Amino acid sequence: MSAQAFSPASGRVAWRRIARHPALMEYRRLAALVAMANLWILWRGWQMGHFADGMGWALAPIADLALANFALAILIRQQRVINALFWLATRIPVTWPLWLRRGAGKVYHFGGLHSGAASCGTLWFGLLLWAMGWNRLAGDALPSDRTLWLTAAILLLLAAMVATALGPLRDRFHNLFERVHRFAGWTVMGLFWAQSISLSAETGEAPPIWLLALLTLSVISPWLSLRRVRVAVDTPSGHAAVARFDYGETPFAGSSTAISRSPFGEYHAFANIPAPGESGFRLAISRAGDWTGGFVDQPPSHVWVKGITTSGVARIETLFSRVVYVATGSGIGPVLPHLLKGAVPARLIWSARSPRRTYGDALVDEIETATAHPLIWDTDRDGKPDLSALALEAVWETGAEAVIVISNRKLTRRVVHELETLGIPAYGAIWDS
C-alpha cells in the first residue's frame, strides 16, 4: 500500500472530507433511513386511507406501527443481538473486496437504528393519543378514559426518555439519562401491558402478546444474570487502576463488561482484557469522572456485574489482513487483548502520560512483548503527537488495511475523519449509549 494511494492531491479527497464527516457517519445515516421509511409508510397509508376515513381515525394500524418501531429499538440493543451482528459481520473473509469489508466494519453503528426507531415510535404514539382523543371528541365511546390515561402516561415517559437521550443533555447529565432510561423504560413496558389488556377488553381484538413478551424478556434479560463478584484492584498510580476478575468467566477479546458498585446504581462498561491460557480477565480504569475517580481512590472489594460480555469496536479487526491500532491513555485496555491474542498482525501506536509511572512497568512490559515495534509515546516527555500522521506512516510501512482508534471522543473523531478523508478505512467508538 503506497503513499501515492492516499495522496491529498487526489480529486476524491475533497468529496470524502464531506461524505466522511462525523456529522454524516453511518449511525446518523441509519437513523435517517428509519425516519424516511416511516415517512413513506405514513404518506402511503394516508393516501390509501389506512389511518383515517370519514368515520374517524383507525387506531390499530397506528398502534401497530408504534409497536413495530419500539420492537426494532429494543431488540437492536439486546446484547445477544449485538453479538450476533458482530459475528455475522466478521464472517466475511479477508479475501473479499476491501470496499465490502470496509462497510461491514461499520457494524457498530447499529445504534442509529435504535435512536431512529425510538424517536419514530414516540411520534407514532403521539399520533395514536391524538387519534384516540379525536375519536372520543367525535362521539365514540371507545377508547375508554382508562385507555386514554394509560396512553398519555406512556407518551409522557417516552418523551422524557427521548429528551434525556439528546446528545447535549445525555453528555451533561449522563446519570440522569441512565436512570430515566432504566426506570422509565421498565414503567413503560408495564404500562404497555396494561394498555394492551385494556384495549383487548374494550375491542375484543387480541393484542400482539407474543411481541410484548419478547420485548419484555429482552429488557429484563441483562438483569437475570445480575451478580456480585469479587475484584482485586491494583493502582499503579493515582490516575489508573487495573481490576482483576476471576469468577468463572473468561470473555473473548473485543468484548466489554458493565460493572457497578450497587445493583441498581450507575453502570460503566469497560473493555475486557483476557490473556491467552489464563482464566478470568482484567479491566483498565482511568480517572475520567466522579465514578472512575472514586474507583481509583477507594477500590472496592466487590462489584456488581449484569448482562453478558458484549462485542465492541475492536472486534472488527478480523475483517482485515493487517491493522494499525491507535490508542491514548486507558484506551490501551480494549487494544491489549487483541495484541495478546495475535490473531491479526498489528502495529501499535500508544500515547499516554508517563506510561510506566501511570500504568505500571508490568503492563508496559506486557505490551512490548506482545507486539513488534510498538510506538509508545510519552506525552509528558515529548508533548502531544500528531496521531493521524503517525497512523498514516504506520499504514505505509506495514501495508495495513485499516486503522482502529481507541481514544476520547474529540480525538477519535478527528483521527478517523482525517484518515477516511485519505481513503483509509478507520474505526472508532461513537459514544451512542
| Distance between CA atoms of residues 6 and 392, nearest Å | 9
CATH number belonging to domain 314-428: 3.40.50.80
Upstream peptide bond of 143 is cis (omega within 30 degrees of 0):
yes
User: 125-180 pLDDT, tens per residue?
Assistant: 999 999 999 988 888 877 889 999 999 999 999 999 999 998 888 888 888 888 89
| Distance between CA atoms of residues 334 and 286, nearest Å | 13
The pLDDT of residue 295: 93
CB atoms within 10 A of CB 37: 14
| Distance between CA atoms of residues 242 and 284, nearest Å | 5
Q: Rounded to two decimals, what is the model's pTM?
A: 0.90
Q: What are phi and psi of 365, to 5 degrees?
A: -60, -40
Q: What are phi and psi of 259, to 5 degrees?
A: -130, 160
Beta strands in 181-231 (DSSP E): 227-230
User: Which is nearest to 18 in space by CA: 420, 390, 386?
Assistant: 420
pLDDT of 4 above 60: no
- Across the range 185-191, mean pLDDT stands at 94
Residue 273 carries which DSSP code? B
What percent of the chain is modeled with pLDDT above 90? 70
pLDDT of 374 above 90: yes
pLDDT of 2 above 60: no
81-94 burial: b if 16+ Cβ within 10 Å, else e: ebbeebeebbebee
User: 189-244 pLDDT, tens per residue?
Assistant: 999 999 988 888 887 776 788 899 999 999 999 999 999 999 999 999 888 899 99
In a 3-state reduction of DSSP, which class is residue 56? strand
Cα-Cα-Cα-Cα dihedral sign, residues 246, 347, 332, 416: negative
For all residues of the chain together, what is the average pLDDT?
91
Chain-centroid distance, C-alpha 161:
17
What is the H or E stretch that residue 118 is in? helix 111-137
Cβ(345)–Cβ(321) under 8 Å?
yes
Cβ(26)–Cβ(32) under 8 Å?
no
In a 3-state reduction of DSSP, which class is residue 126? helix
The pLDDT of residue 159: 96
Strands 402-406 and 426-428: parallel
User: 308-359 pLDDT, tens per residue?
Assistant: 999 989 999 999 999 999 999 989 999 999 999 999 999 999 999 999 999 9
Largest Cα span, the chain:
78
Cβ(105)–Cβ(94) under 8 Å?
no
The pLDDT of residue 98: 96
Cβ(233)–Cβ(282) under 8 Å?
no
Q: Strand pairing partners for 404?
A: 325, 427
The pLDDT of residue 11: 62
Query: Is the model more confident about 38 or about 278?
Result: 38
Q: Sheet containing 402-406: which strands, arranged edge to edge?
A: 375-378, 346-352, 323-328, 402-406, 426-428
The pLDDT of residue 199: 83
Which cell numbers in the block locate residue 393?
A: 506512516
pLDDT of 53 above 80: no
| Distance between CA atoms of residues 397 and 2, nearest Å | 9
CA dihedral 179, 181, 183, 189 (to 10 degrees): 180
Which cell numbers in the block locate residue 152?
A: 398519555
Domain-wise residue ranges, the chain: 21-224, 227-313, 314-428
Lowest-confidence region among 100-109, 114-123, 263-272:
263-272
Homologous superfamily, domain 227-313: Translation factors (2.40.30.10)
CA dihedral 11, 13, 16, 18 (to 10 degrees): -100
User: 238-290 pLDDT, tens per residue?
Assistant: 888 999 999 988 999 999 999 999 998 888 889 999 988 889 999 999 888 78
pLDDT of 9 above 60: no
Residue the block writes with cell 493487517: 322
Cβ(122)–Cβ(347) under 8 Å?
no
Of the CA atoms within 13 Å of residue 215, those in its CB half-sphere come to 20
Which cell numbers in the block locate residue 25?
A: 457517519
Contacts of 55 (CB under 8 A, 6+ apart): none
Query: Is the model more confident about 8 or about 62?
Result: 62
CB-based burial of residue 167 (10 Å sphere; 0-12 exposed, 13-18 middle, 19+ buried)?
exposed
The pLDDT of residue 5: 45
Which cell numbers in the block locate residue 349?
A: 501506536
Is 314-428 in the same CATH topology as 227-313?
no
The pLDDT of residue 325: 97
The pLDDT of residue 418: 95
- Across the range 382-411, mean pLDDT stands at 95
pLDDT of 6 above 80: no
What percent of the chain is modeled with pLDDT above 70? 96
The pLDDT of residue 54: 65
